[in-house]
Amino acid sequence: MDTATFNKRIKRVVITEEEIRAKIKEVGKQLSKEYDGKPLLVVSILKGAFVFMADMTRELSVPHEIDFMIASSYYEGTVSSGVVNIKLDLAHTDISNFHVLILEDIVDTGRTLKDVVHLLKGRKPLSIKVVTLLDKPDRRLVEFNPDISLFTIPDYFVIGYGLDCGEFFRNLPYIAEYNTEI
């Protein structure tokens, strides 16, 4: 993609760097209190959550380990097959001694996280919680609600801060609306 096209695709900034930073600090404090004294494993779903993961873990003042997954769900129409396609599984083979905190970039239909949570619950962690940077509740196709969402947005496609369109735009330091009109 050439730079002129790249720039034209960024329609407008929806959430600024400063707004993201402030919210992550606030939630980071809340989570640090909640997990104080508990064995914590922070898991992020790649690739979209990599920036959020990097910023959020640095706002956690309590000791914790990190791990990554690449996962997507198989669906027939709106019905989940209940099977998660794991392209990369956790490096931790045993999570039964951890409180698991999943960091996700965006909850859209809810399919991915519903299935990932189901899968990880089966591995018997001490607890499991989902924190998403963005939530698009209008798009939900399955029953799933994150425990914490930093920002709720209407139904439009967003890019930046880890989120992509065709693998580009992850590097934008803010969340922007994607311009579909060009």
Active site positions, annotated: 108
To ligand IMP, the closest distance from the beta carbon of 156 in angstroms equals: 7
Among positions 53, 103, 106, 176, the unique one binding ligand IMP when judged by CB under 6 A: 106
Strands 99-107 and 127-135: parallel
Long-range contacts of 15-18 (CB under 8 A, 24+ apart): 15/151, 15/153, 15/161, 15/174, 15/175, 16/174, 17/173, 17/174
Choices 9-17, 61-69, 77-85, 156-164 (CB under 6 A): range interacting with ligand IMP: 156-164
Q: Which helix (H) or strand (E) holds 57?
A: helix 50-57
Please report whether residue 125 would count as binding ligand IMP according to CB under 6 A.
no
C-alpha closest to that of 139 among 114, 102, 110, 99: 110
Please report whether residue 107 would count as binding ligand IMP according to CB under 6 A.
yes
Among positions 158, 172, 175, 176, the unique one binding ligand IMP when judged by CB under 6 A: 158
Among positions 32, 109, 145, 179, the unique one binding ligand IMP when judged by CB under 6 A: 109
The residues that bridge with 151 in the sheet, in sequence order, are 134
Give the separation between CA 115 and CA 113, rounded to whole angstroms: 5
Please report whether residue 135 would count as binding ligand IMP according to CB under 6 A.
no
To ligand IMP, the closest distance from the beta carbon of 111 in angstroms equals: 4
C-alpha closest to that of 149 among 116, 113, 103: 103
Give the separation between CA 138 and CA 153, rounded to whole angstroms: 9
Among positions 20, 35, 64, 105, the unique one binding ligand IMP when judged by CB under 6 A: 105
To ligand IMP, the closest distance from the beta carbon of 97 in angstroms equals: 27
Residues that bind ligand IMP (CB under 6 A): 48, 104-112, 157-158, 163
